[in-house]
Amino acid sequence: MSVLQATEKSIIQKLDLDGYIAQFKHYLAREKSVVMMGDIHQHYRYIKALSTIQFPSPLSVAALERELNIIKKQGVLGLDEIYDFVKICSYFNKLSTLELPEPLFSWIRGIEIPSEISEIIGYFNDEGQINPQRDPELFDIERAIKYNKTEIKETLYKLAHSSKLLPYLVDSQVHFNGGEETLLVRGGFNQVIKATVVGRSAGGYFYIIPQNISHLKDKEAALLSSREELIYRYCKQISAVFFKWERFLSFINKEYDRFDHYQARVSFARVNEYEFILPNKDKRIKLQDFAHPAIDNPIPISIDLNKKIMLVTGVNAGGKTMLLKSMLSAVYMSKYLLPFRCDPSRTQVGHYKSIEAVIDDPQSVKNDISTFAGRMVEFAKLFEKEDAIVGVDEIELGTDSDEAASLFRVMLDELKKRGMTFVVTTHHKRLASLMASDDEVELIAALYDEAQRKPTYTFLQGSIGKSYAFETARRYGIPPFIVERAKEVYGEDKENLNELIEKSTSLEREMRTKISSIDEQLSQVEKQKQRLQDEEIKLQESHRKAVATLENRYNAAVKKAQEALKAKESTEGRRLLNVAHQRKTFTPKEVKLESQEPLKEGDKVKYRSHKAELLSIRGNDATILVDGMKMRVPLSQLKKRGDSEQPKSVPKSSKADVTVQKTGASVSVKVLGLYADEAIEKVDKFLSDALVNGLREVQIIHGTGGGVLAKVITDYLKNHPKIEKFYRMPGNLGITIVEL
């Protein structure tokens, strides 16, 4: 046994996993270590893929390392040894016919059995023998052997029922002795029959082979010898082929082991309803509803260790050691992708290079070593390791607890700096009190049911537990008066300390219950919030679709209006089309919820970016005075001004030299960089605004460029009914002057 195998066996026994491992190995096609070498993430992908399909169980085969060495040396394998290779190749042929998910499909289909090996597979029947139907000589030998056996049985049957031998027969059955068919007779049989004695029974009787079937026995031996010679010729020929394909056989043997690892895990998990947990680089161990496989009807464990040290205190026989073994067992099973019972959605297990368990009492008379000295030897070895998880049961075992607490405090501090994680159990509170202030230490208390006077086998994080030594003693039969006297010796002060610890634990439990309730309420609020957000998204989408529908209808109406205006120009139509454009740009974001006083004639108002005076109101429209020009605009686009600026006097003349840019219409428009249809739409709206506001001359700035925009605008202006003439600005061909 190698050092690695011995270490593996030791940790399995210390964690009480030997029964679990034995059960798992029943699902393997051949004996092997549970350790899988290679990329664990790749193994996990294959196992999860295999878990989704049904597959045939692999046949049991021997470990074939010795047989492969014989092949390398051009030796001759026996028929049984050859058949083991045949079973492996036949199984992969079966797998290749299944509908396999990736990555199984690529792996199995990538294993191609050589044609010479496939031909050898056809030599064998289901019993692992050469099929007589393939060889006439073998067929004749097998038929002759069968006929000879029948003749032997019939001859013995006749002798067993002959009147001459009847007085000497013990019974009329044919007995097998040393593989030979015999009759069981009493002494004196040689007076009536010649026979060979091949054995004696416990009652002193004789097993005999009658002489008149000896020639049949000789014939059978000759036939069997001929068959063996023929089988040997087959073995010699097949072994020669195997020598040619030795590398392939070595390869497929390893692949069979690999698949065997996968299928055994999947089958084991299915039967026991276990789950696979892939270890991760995070050193956190979070178990949810975990059950150690060695415990019948276990109380599920839910624990979270995300610190370097877990210190477990509390009641005697309350499950502290079980918790320690459960934590390390989860790491071991996860490390080698062995399934176990847990809630996989909330279980997380870190990956560690090694697992160490300081559990047993190391005291040994043979080695002349004490308990504490043995513990020191084991701890000394830990300083040579890195990235390990270590379980230490009863850490102060074998020496003064106060001295041990100080010593172990320092050692644990140093070892955790080397990447070590510890799960430690103790009955003594000295070490717990020394390490309680360390942020890297998680305190765990094993809980006790005061009412029923027994441990609950549950645990509370963040608290120091009481040992309940007196209660445990009474539970296991110590007389009550002994326990009471022990309490008196123990002292009132220490008992008060334990009461404080109990109260702290109770308060902690109450706090945890309240936190759990708050978390549940918070979860409900979050769900309600998410539901409202989903409804808001649906409403926004509905609103968007409604706006898009109205937009399409609006565009269609505007297009029809433009076509109608081209057919028959109308100043009122142009004005209404301009109002439609203005109302189209109104969005819900412009709506102000705050109240505003109703506008009245004479109010100072603001229209877009211009200051104006409200002259009159007619329905939903209003007439305003902007920089000396009257304009008719929608009432909804006016806002009351807060200043007391006096309106400017209306100029008596409205000559063309008035600065029109300060009115609601502009004297120029830029269409640089626009597409042709965009430019025409912008120019059309611009000319409509100019006509409504009474402008006589405007500019269209289109640039020179390739001349495409200039040509499109020129074609549009030629067909406009309200344009008297248009021409390019002298000295700047990128601007067209339009007279309305």
What are 398's two structure tokens? 């074998």
Q: What is the pLDDT of residue 620?
A: 81
Q: What is the mean pLDDT of residues 111-118?
A: 94
pLDDT digits (tens, 9 = 90+) for 649-684: 444 443 334 333 434 567 888 888 787 778 888 888
pLDDT > 90: what percent of the chain? 31
pLDDT-derived band at 119 (thresholds 50, 70, 90) equals very high
Pairwise CA distance, residues 263 & 259, whole Å? 6
For residue 20, pLDDT beyond 60:
yes
Which amino acid is located at 52 in the chain? Answer: T
- 424 with 404: CB under 8 angstroms? no
What CATH architecture does domain 665-740 belong to?
2-Layer Sandwich (3.30)
- SS3 string of 206-260? EEEEEHHHHHHHHHHHHHHHHHHHHHHHHHHHHHHHHHHCHHHHHHHHHHHHHHH
For residue 453, pLDDT beyond 60:
no
Q: What is the pLDDT of residue 474?
A: 61
- 331 with 264: CB under 8 angstroms? no
Average the pLDDT over each of 63-77, 570-584, 616-630 and give the range with the smallest value. 570-584
Q: What kind and span of H or E run contains 142? A: helix 136-160
pLDDT-derived band at 46 (thresholds 50, 70, 90) equals very high
Q: What is the mean pLDDT of residues 686-715?
A: 82
The tally of CA atoms less than 13 A away on the side-chain side of residue 388 is 18
Q: What is the pLDDT of residue 318?
A: 62
Q: What is the dihedral of CA 99, 103, 109, 110, to 10 degrees?
A: 180
Pairwise CA distance, residues 310 & 422, whole Å? 6
| Collapsed DSSP state (helix, strand, coil) of residue 61 | coil
Q: What is the pLDDT of residue 548?
A: 78
- 159 with 175: CB under 8 angstroms? no
For residue 297, pLDDT beyond 90:
no
For residue 541, pLDDT beyond 90:
no
Say whether domain 285-490 belongs to CATH 3.90.230.10. Answer: no
pLDDT digits (tens, 9 = 90+) for 249-272: 999 999 999 999 999 999 999 999
Task: Answer positive or negative: Cα dihedral of 170, 171, 172, 176.
Answer: negative
pLDDT digits (tens, 9 = 90+) for 359-408: 866 554 444 456 777 778 888 888 888 889 999 888 777 666 667 778 88
Q: Specify the CATH number of the domain 596-650+657-662.
A: 2.30.30
Q: What kind and span of H or E run contains 698? A: strand 697-701
| Collapsed DSSP state (helix, strand, coil) of residue 602 | coil
pLDDT, averaged across the chain: 81
Strands 697-701 and 668-670: parallel
| Crossing angle (nearest 10°) for helices 401-417 and 371-382 | 10
Overall residue count recorded for the chain in this entry = 740
pLDDT digits (tens, 9 = 90+) for 562-619: 667 666 555 556 666 666 665 555 444 444 434 567 888 888 888 876 788 888 888 7
pLDDT digits (tens, 9 = 90+) for 194-229: 888 889 988 889 998 888 888 888 898 999 999 999
Helices (H), 478-491: 480-490
Q: What is the mean pLDDT of residues 343-358?
A: 92
Task: Answer positive or negative: Cα dihedral of 571, 575, 578, 584.
Answer: negative
pLDDT digits (tens, 9 = 90+) for 162-180: 888 888 888 888 888 888 8
Q: What is the pLDDT of residue 663?
A: 45
Q: Where are the domains of the chain?
A: 16-114+245-272, 133-231, 285-490, 596-650+657-662, 665-740
Q: What is the mean pLDDT of residues 445-457?
A: 62
Pairwise CA distance, residues 504 & 6, whole Å? 45
Q: What is the pLDDT of residue 273?
A: 93
Residue 561: how many other CB atoms lie within 10 Å: 15
Residue 191 DSSP one-character state: G
Token look-up 């004789």 returns 206
Say whether domain 133-231 belongs to CATH 3.30.230.10. Answer: no
Bridge partner residues of 729 (DSSP): 732
Question: What are the b/e assignments for 587-621, b being 16+ CB within 10 Å?
Answer: eeeeeeeeeeeeeeeebbbbbeeebbbbbebeeee
